[in-house]
């Protein structure tokens, strides 16, 4: 009887322990986080907006629904250019945009999106992930209570849409052009007037003459916006944006409230969409460019060589001045320039040499 009582007590204890463990597991499984993501892009806009949607969906799938992210396009919750403040203040836990939009917070942010005549998408990924760039970016955003993650790249962009041909640098005099970041400062020094507008306002502004020219992204996105209806001439290359990194910024307090496994999911979901977006643009741009030329009669033009030479000289001035702003700017610039210098040496004998060989008759 004593032995029978012992087994009964042991069984009851085991059941109680198991129930307790199951309860803990159930509680953990039920712990979830509802996040808002605000973006600088029009809702569901191809590539950019859908990239934000893809990130939100991937975080949900990878976390088994423990993090659910609702995406808000520009103006749905906050205007496009208020995304940074909204995430910093905790109005939303995440934001999706591009760091050069926040130069009013710190001009050095522009190094973490794109630099005229600077790194390509592959080189930017190399610098950010393996060259110390992301650590510097994280150090900068920590001042604002944010954590940045690379979350997309458009690759080399187009030079823009113009209502007149650009035959010399003089044709940029007095030109009102939507162009953000360091590219806008270069245009200003060339005699033009840079205007910073969110994507949703480009078509109307160009069509009504509020601006004379605009750059946006490339054929895939420019076709979606119908910019060919408002301007005839389409110029390349996009010297101002050779490989634009998009960002997912996360409110630091919200991120640190997550358990370690969910933090890893957010971090790696951003990595996945960063690579996927570049692949999407690589696939879509050629088809869209052919459509613009063959179906819509767009006049594709290269910038004249002397214009490129002048713009590159101005770019050197602009970037050098930015690098001297303060100690942190010098630190970021030194890291960026070192990686770019080493990448150029490799690119000459790899990507560039191969492309020249492939295109040779």
Pairing mode of beta strands 299-302, 233-236 = parallel
Q: How far apart are CA 129 and CA 126, in angstroms?
A: 6
Classified by CATH at the fold level, domain 32-154+243-282 comes out as: D-Maltodextrin-Binding Protein; domain 2 (3.40.190)
Of 231, 236, 224, 240, the residue nearest 281 (C-alpha): 224
pLDDT of amino acid 5: 55
List pLDDT tens digits, range 173-204: 999 999 999 999 999 999 999 999 999 999 99
Does the pTM surpass 0.75? The reply is: yes
Question: Is 198:38 a contact under the CB 8 Å cutoff?
Answer: no
Task: State residue 9's pLDDT score.
Answer: 53
Half-sphere exposure of 345 (CA within 13 A, CB side): 5
pLDDT digits (tens, 9 = 90+) for 309-338: 999 999 999 999 999 999 999 999 999 999
Q: At what angle do helices 181-189 and 305-323 cross, to 10 degrees?
A: 120
Model confidence at 12: pLDDT above 60: no
What b/e string do you get for 163-182 counting C-beta neighbours within 10 Å, with b at 16 or more?
Answer: eeebeebebbeebbbbbbbb
Domain boundaries, the chain: 32-154+243-282
* 16-33 confidence digits (pLDDT tens): 444 444 444 444 445 799
Mean pLDDT confidence for 274-283: 97
The two structure tokens encoding residue 227: 């910019």
């Amino acid at each position: 009887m004593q032995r029978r009582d012992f087994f009964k007590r042991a069984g009851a204890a085991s059941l109680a322990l198991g129930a307790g463990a199951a309860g803990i597991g159930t509680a953990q499984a039920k712990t979830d986080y509802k996040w808002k993501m605000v973006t600088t892009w029009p809702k569901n806009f191809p590539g950019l907006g859908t990239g934000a949607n893809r990130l939100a969906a991937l975080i949900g799938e990878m976390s088994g629904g423990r993090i659910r992210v609702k995406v808000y396009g520009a103006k749905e919750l906050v205007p496009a250019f208020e995304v940074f403040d909204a995430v910093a203040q905790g109005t939303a836990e995440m934001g999706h945009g591009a760091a050069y939009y926040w130069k009013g917070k710190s001009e050095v942010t522009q190094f973490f999106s794109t630099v005229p005549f600077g790194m390509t998408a592959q080189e930017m990924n190399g610098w950010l992930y393996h060259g110390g760039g992301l650590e510097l970016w994280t150090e900068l955003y920590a001042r604002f209570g944010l954590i940045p993650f690379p979350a997309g790249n458009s690759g080399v962009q187009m030079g823009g849409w113009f209502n007149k041909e650009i035959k010399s640098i003089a044709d940029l005099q007095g030109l009102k052009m939507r162009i953000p970041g360091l590219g806008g400062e270069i245009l200003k020094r060339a005699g033009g007037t840079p205007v910073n507008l969110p994507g949703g306002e480009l078509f109307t502004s160009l069509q009504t003459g509020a601006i004379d020219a605009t750059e946006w992204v490339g054929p895939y996105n420019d076709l979606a916006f119908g910019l060919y209806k408002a301007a005839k001439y389409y110029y390349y290359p996009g010297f101002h944006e050779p490989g634009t990194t998009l960002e997912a910024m996360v409110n630091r307090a919200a991120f640190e409230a997550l358990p370690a496994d969910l933090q890893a999911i957010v971090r790696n979901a951003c990595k996945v969409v960063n690579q996927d977006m570049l692949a999407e643009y690589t696939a879509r741009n050629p088809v869209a460019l052919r459509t613009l030329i063959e179906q819509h009669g767009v006049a594709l033009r290269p910038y004249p060589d002397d214009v490129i030479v002048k713009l590159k000289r101005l770019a050197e001035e602009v970037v050098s001045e930015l690098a001297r702003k303060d100690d942190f700017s010098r630190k970021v610039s030194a890291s960026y320039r070192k990686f770019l210098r080493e990448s150029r040496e490799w690119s000459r004998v790899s990507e560039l040499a191969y492309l020249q060989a492939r295109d040779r008759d």
